[in-house]
Structure 1
Amino acid sequence: MAGKFKAFVRLRFAEILLAFLVLFSGILLGFSSGGFVVNFSKLGFSVVSLVQKGAGAVVSSVTGVVTSVRDIAVLQKEYQELSEKLKDYEYMRRSNVEIRKENERLREQLQFAAEIEYKNIPAQIIGRDPDNLYSGITINKGARSGIKKGFPVIAIQSGNVGVVGKVVIAGLDTSLVMPIYDTKCNISARIQNTRDIGIVSGNGSYSSPLNLRYIRKRVFDSLNHGDIIVTSGENGNYVKDIPIGRISKITVLDYDSSLEIELEPAIDFLRLENVLVVDQKNLNDKPLEARK
């Protein structure tokens, strides 16, 4: 039995050796005939190219991300710069609008100032004090400009002329004006269409109506809402025929012989910026052509 096993092993070994020799001979034959040649240079190049391609894709991707981030930063900077320029433009536009409006107001005031018979001094409001003794309005002109206590103050707004008040304190470079809505202000007034005369006084606030007193009941049927009340010019306190306000309410009181009349001021004091202080003792020195 042992002899048979050894014979079998020798046979299998011979077969394996034969197969190996046949395979080895085929390989040698392939190399020698050039039909089976492995180009290691080409193989290495392919591998390296593949690696380079992958690396290039990665680098390209990273570069694209970096470029995008940089572009975003540039866009943000440009956006901020444009936003600042837009703010500057808006500021300049608003400033130009304000300048045009101011020029229109000043042009209107200068034209009106040239048409007034008496000498007048243009001034600008620089302060308001509702707690003052006279609910005062402070203007930027005083005695140095020729202003004196008692001078009437008028203004023009959107083409409409109106009484503002009168000077009660004249400093060197500023003056205090008592407005017509002050309770201590009394103006001799006249109803423009009926020519009836009365006294206009204030209620202490620019938002409150003015009062017109001493108008007889018998003229009630001749009055209408919106009728203009003007200065009478009597006593020389105010320039004649300057509008004070318009009738807004008429009340008939049984126990009084006079009508109770409320007026809406001709001047919007909340929007008032510039005024004219009138010197009724001296005529306007502007050329007559400028006052026509």
Structure 2
Amino acid sequence: MAAKRRSSFSFKLQEFILLLLVLISGVMLAFSSGSFVINVKTVGFSVLSSVERQVHSVATGITDVFTAAHELAKLRKEYDELSKKLENYEQMQRSNAEIRKENERLKEQLDFSNSLEEKNYPAQIISRDTDNLYAFLTINKGSAAGIRKNMPVIACQNGTSGLVGKIIQVGKYTSIVMPVYNLNCTVSARIQNTRDLGLVSGNGNQNANLSMKYIRKRVLDELHYGDVVVTSGENSNYMRDLPLGTISKITIVEYNSSLDIELTPVIDFSRLENVVVVNMREINDSRKE
């Protein structure tokens, strides 16, 4: 019984030793043929390639992020520069438009000044008193330019000429104008179509209508809304036939023999900037024929 156990054990040991020798021989054969080394290299290369690919992907992603941030900053800078250029361009366009309008106004004033028979002095309104019923305008020309008291002041606005008022006070470099809408201003005037004579006076406000008195009731049927009222030229205070306004309202007063007539001024005083002061005693030497 004991002999059988010893024999079984010996057989198993021998088989193990044989298997071990075969395994060792196989390994040595593999080394000698180079296949094991190649396999190791292949496995190592695969592992390293995977690691390198992941590292490259991460590095590329980080690089793309920094590149995108740089491009975004560059685009934002270009956008800000273009926005500033656009703003400057729009401002320049507005300035050019204002300059063109100013040039048109000055050209209109110059042409108007040259067309007058009388010597005249173009001027600009530099201030206006509109806080009370006796409003006045101040212009930038005075005695040094040839301005004298009681000279009439006229203007051309949008192709329409009209009476502004008259000079009541003169300084060396500035003068004060009493406009036709001043309560103290009274102008001898005629209805252009019928030639009926009356007096036009102001109501103290540059936005208010003018009043015309002393037009007889019997001419009512001859009057129409929109009829032009002009200066009469009497008393040598103003030139003849200067437009003052157009008839906008006619009121019949029972106890009065004349009509109450309202006039819309031909000059928009709230937009008036430039005027012409006229010297009725001298001829305009620069007049264009």
Answer whether TM exceeds 0.5 for this pair: yes
Q: Determine the structure 1 residue equivalent to 2:218.
A: 218
Unaligned stretches of 5+ residues in structure 1: none
Distance 1:120 1:170 in 2: 16
Distance 1:129 1:28 in 2: 119
The superposition leaves residues 42-66 of structure 1 with CA deviations (integer Å, 9 ceiling, x where unpaired) of: 5444433333332222222211111
Per the TM alignment, residue 271 of structure 1 is displaced from its structure 2 partner at its CA by: 1.3
Q: Determine the structure 2 residue equivalent to 1:270.
A: 270
Bigger CA drift: 104-113 or 43-52?
43-52
After the TM superposition, which residues 91-130 of structure 1 pair with which residues of structure 2 at under 5 Å, given as runs? 91-130=91-130
SS of structure 1 residue aligned to 2:270: coil
For residue 262 of structure 1, what is the amino acid of its counterpart? E
Distance 2:21 2:151 in 1: 137
Distance 1:245 1:5 in 2: 146
Per the TM alignment, residue 189 of structure 1 is displaced from its structure 2 partner at its CA by: 0.7
Bigger CA drift: 18-27 or 112-121?
18-27
Distance 1:133 1:282 in 2: 34
Distance 1:3 1:179 in 2: 151
Backbone CA RMSD of aligned residues = 2.2
After the TM superposition, which residues 17-166 of structure 1 pair with which residues of structure 2 at under 5 Å, given as runs? 17-131=17-131, 134-166=134-166
Distance 1:143 1:132 in 2: 27
Distance 1:214 1:26 in 2: 141
Q: Summarize the Cα distance change of 1:34–1:252 in structure 2 as closer, same or farther, 3 Å threshold.
A: same
Q: Summarize the Cα distance change of 1:26–1:264 in structure 2 as closer, same or farther, 3 Å threshold.
A: same
Contact 2:133/2:204, CA 8 A, preserved across alignment: no
Per the TM alignment, residue 114 of structure 1 is displaced from its structure 2 partner at its CA by: 1.4
Per the TM alignment, residue 28 of structure 1 is displaced from its structure 2 partner at its CA by: 2.4
Distance 1:20 1:136 in 2: 128
Q: Summarize the Cα distance change of 1:217–1:32 in structure 2 as closer, same or farther, 3 Å threshold.
A: same
Unaligned stretches of 5+ residues in structure 2: none
Q: Summarize the Cα distance change of 1:35–1:45 in structure 2 as closer, same or farther, 3 Å threshold.
A: closer
Q: Determine the structure 2 residue equivalent to 1:187.
A: 187
Bigger CA drift: 74-83 or 26-35?
26-35
TM-score scaled by length of structure 1: 0.91
Distance 1:79 1:280 in 2: 62
Q: Determine the structure 2 residue equivalent to 1:176.
A: 176
Bigger CA drift: 240-249 or 275-284?
275-284
Distance 2:134 2:285 in 1: 32
TM-score scaled by length of structure 2: 0.91
Q: Summarize the Cα distance change of 1:2–1:259 in structure 2 as closer, same or farther, 3 Å threshold.
A: farther
The superposition leaves residues 233-287 of structure 1 with CA deviations (integer Å, 9 ceiling, x where unpaired) of: 1111111111000000111111111111100000011211110011112221225
Distance 2:13 2:37 in 1: 31
Residues 1:254 and 2:261 are matched in the alignment = no
Q: Summarize the Cα distance change of 1:214–1:30 in structure 2 as closer, same or farther, 3 Å threshold.
A: same
Per the TM alignment, residue 202 of structure 1 is displaced from its structure 2 partner at its CA by: 1.0
Number of aligned positions between the proteins: 289
